[in-house]
Amino acid sequence: MREVATVVGLPAPVPPRRPFLIMNPQSGGGKVDRFGLVRKARALNADVALLEGAGTVDVAALAREAADDGADLLGVAGGDGTQSLVAAVAADRGIPFMVIAAGTRNQFARDLGLDSEDPAACLAALTDGVEVRVDLGRIGDRSFVTSAAFGAYAELVRTTAFRDGDTAAALALLPSLLAAPDEQRLNLRTGDTVVGDSAAVLVSNNPYGAADIAGLGRRNRLDRGVLGLLAVTLRGARDAVRLVRGRRSGLVKVSTATEAVIETDADRIPVGVDGEEVTLATPVHCAIRPGVLRVRVPRLRPGVRPGVRGTRVHTAMVGT
C-alpha cells in the first residue's frame, strides 16, 4: 500500500492553447525517455524544451522567454528544484503551472496527488484538467515548492540516500548528522520568538505531518498560507537517537508562521532548497506567498474522491 495525498480543484476554464514544457532527460533516472514524455506531450500540441547538452541552462530565463512569446501554461518534467524555478515564473506572470512527476522524490507532485508511478498520466492536465491555487515559499530571492533545509537537514540533502529517494536509509543517517560536533548552530526567529542553538531547522511550504521529523513525508494542505517550522535542539548523540526513535519531547519545536529568519555566526551557510544544494548569505529570510501559484492537474488522479471540490489536500491509501 502507498499513501497518496491529493488536492481537489475546480474545473479549468479552457485547455491551454500554447503550453510550454521543460523536460530534464536526466531526472528520475531517465523517466522522460522511459515514459516517452516528449513524444506524448508534442502529440498534445505542447512545445517541449529539453535540458540537455553541455553547460548549465538558465531554466528560469527559458521559462520567462516562453511566457514572453505567448505561452499560456508553463510546465516541468523534472525534480522539485527545477519545478520551483519555473513555478516562480508562472506565479509572477499569472499563468498556470503544470507538474509532471519525472523526478526521483517527486514530493511536490505527490502532495498534488499526481501519479508518480506513471509520469505520462500527468499530461492529462492538458486536455482534461482542473486548476488549484497553492502557496509558494520564498527564501532570499528564490521560491521553493517543498522546503528549505538548514544545518543537519542540509547535510542530509547531500547524501546519496536522500538523492536516491531512500527515506529509510536517509533517516538512518540523521542521528550522526545531528550529533556532529562541528555542526553549525542555528537560531530560528519568528517575530519576537527565538529558538536558539538548533542543530537543524526545516522551513516548509505549509507544514508536514506531526510525526515527520525531517520533511520526508507528506503535507496534507498546500493552501494554509503559512510556513511549517521545525527546529531540533540536542544535547548529544543520545538525544539524536531518541529523536529518530520517535521520542521527541523537548527536542523538537514545531510551529507555523508567515515569515521566519535563520541566523548563525557564519557569513554564508549551505541550504537544501527543494532538494538542491545552494549557499546563501546570512541571515536567511523566508516567507510564504499565499495562493500565488495556479496549478493545472488532471481531473482524475490518485486518491481524489469524485465530487469533492476545494483546495484541501486529501489523503488516501491505494494499492501499489
- Tens digits of per-residue pLDDT, 136-195? 999 999 999 999 999 988 888 888 888 777 777 877 777 777 767 666 789 999 999 999
Angstrom CA distances, 271 to 107, 136, 276, 281, 282, stand at 18, 17, 8, 10, 11
**Structural domains in the chain (count):** 2
Q: Which three cell numbers stand for residue 186?
A: 542555528
Q: Indicate if 173 and 121 belong to the same structural domain.
A: no
Dump pLDDT digits (tens) for 62-80. 999 999 999 999 999 999 9
Domain that holds residue 90: 2-134+293-318
Secondary structure (3-state) at 12: coil
According to DSSP, the residues that pair with 269 across neighbouring strands are 280
Verdict on whether the full-model pTM lies above 0.95: no
Q: Indicate if 166 and 266 belong to the same structural domain.
A: yes
Percent of the chain at pLDDT > 70 equals: 82
* CATH number of the domain residue 83 falls in: 3.40.50.10330
Q: What is the mean pLDDT of residues 72-91?
A: 97
Q: Indicate if 117 and 26 belong to the same structural domain.
A: yes
Q: Do 202 and 178 form a contact (C-beta atoms < 8 A)? A: no
Phi, psi angles (nearest 5°) of residue 17: -90, -35
Interhelix angle 80-93/59-68, rounded to 10 degrees, is 30
How far apart (Å, rounded) are the C-alpha atoms in residues 148 and 86? 17
Q: Indicate if 92 and 202 belong to the same structural domain.
A: no
Q: Indicate if 285 and 298 belong to the same structural domain.
A: no
Q: Indicate if 235 and 130 belong to the same structural domain.
A: no
Q: Indicate if 36 and 115 belong to the same structural domain.
A: yes
How far apart (Å, rounded) are the C-alpha atoms in residues 201 and 231? 4
